[in-house]
Amino acid sequence: MKIGITGQEGFVGKHLWNTLNLNENVALVPFDRSSFDSPEQLGYFVSQCDVIVHLAAMNRHENQQTIYDTNVNLVESLIAACEKTNSRPHILFSSSTQENKDNLYGQSKKKGKDLFIKWSESGGGKFTSLTIPNVFGPFGKPNYNSVVATFCHKVANGESPTIIQDNEIGLIYINELVAEIIHAIENRTNTKKLGRNSREYEITPPHRLKVSEILEMLLEFKANYMGNGVFPDLTDSFGKALFNTFRCYIPETHFPVKFTKHTDPRGSFVEIARTQTPGQFSFSTTVPGITRGNHYHTRKAERFAVISGKAQIQLRKIGTDKIITYHLNGEEPAYVDMPIWFTHNITNTGEDELITLFWINEPYDPDDPDTYFEDVNL
345 close to 294: Cβ distance less than 8 angstroms: yes
* Neighbouring residues of 264: CB distance < 8 A, sequence distance ≥ 6: none
Q: How many whole angstroms separate alpha carbon 32 and alpha carbon 338? A: 31
Contact 296, 342 (CB under 8 A): yes
Length of the chain: 378
The residues near 133 (Cβ < 8 Å, ≥ 6 apart) are 97, 170, 171, 172, 203, 204, 205
> Would you tell me how many other CB atoms lie within 10 Å of the CB of residue 83?
16
- Identify the three-state secondary structure at position 276: coil
Q: What is the DSSP letter of 304?
A: E
Q: Is 68 a catalytic residue?
A: no
What whole-number distance in Å separates Cα of residue 272 and Cα of residue 259? 7
Instruction: Choose, from 68, 105, 225, 326, the residue flagged as catalytic.
Output: 105
Which residues have a catalytic role annotated?
105
